[in-house]
Amino acid sequence: MIGTGREGETAIQLSQRILSEFGVLGTLGRASLEELSLIEGIGEAKAARILASLELGRRLSIPISTRRPIISTPRDAADLLMSEMRYFDKEHFKALILNTKNEVLKVVDISIGSLNSAVVHPRELFKIAIKHSGAAVIVVHNHPSGDATPSSEDIALTKRLARAGEVLGIDFLDHIVVGDGEFISLKEREFF
């Protein structure tokens, strides 16, 4: 990926130094082009190759199937999105739009927020569910801190979304918070 080293340092030594500076690959996956370019021996071109390789790795880890995924448990929903969402450095709020057999019709980005919040309005979520003839929805968002513990705002939002779904006749099945390798189902924790 790096190709060549620099004077006095091989590509392998440079790679080892990068990994030691970032600790683990997950932390490297969160680095920006600017952060990587600041490392001695890594210019913009090498930084772009590193980030592109990490993104390809993330995309290859997402299962591809000709059949629609079926969501039977909160783990199914978390597994579907964990590899993509766990390294985001901002809160991303996504919705799984499901048919009557709990097959995923569509995965939709609802909102991208800041480091610790994402604004979500019930109208945005359910407008998309109606557009795709969804019978049910599951929402998933990440916590960039890596801690999946739901906040009081997460719980309040979940209750609002569940009420809105009830009024519209679209089942609101769960709200899942994704951390770094962990998730919490607000349905399983009986928050709504």
| pLDDT for the residue numbered 136 | 98
pLDDT recorded at residue 77 = 96
Give the model's pLDDT for residue 114: 74
Q: What is the pLDDT of residue 32?
A: 84
Measured CA to CA, the distance from residue 74 to residue 72 in angstroms comes to 7
One-letter amino acid at 90 equals K
Q: Where in the chain is the domain with CATH 3.40.140.10?
A: 74-185
| Residue entry with tokens 């770094």 | 180
Which portions of the chain are predicted below pLDDT 70? Answer: 24-26, 62-66, 115-117
CATH class held by domain 74-185:
alpha beta
Determine the topology of domain 11-60 in CATH: DNA polymerase; domain 1 (1.10.150)
Question: In 3-state terms, what secondary structure has residue 11?
Answer: helix
Q: Partners of 6 in the beta sheet?
A: 9
Structure tokens at 173: 């099945």
> Are 139 and 93 within 8 A, CB to CB?
yes
Residues of the chain with CATH 1.10.150: 11-60
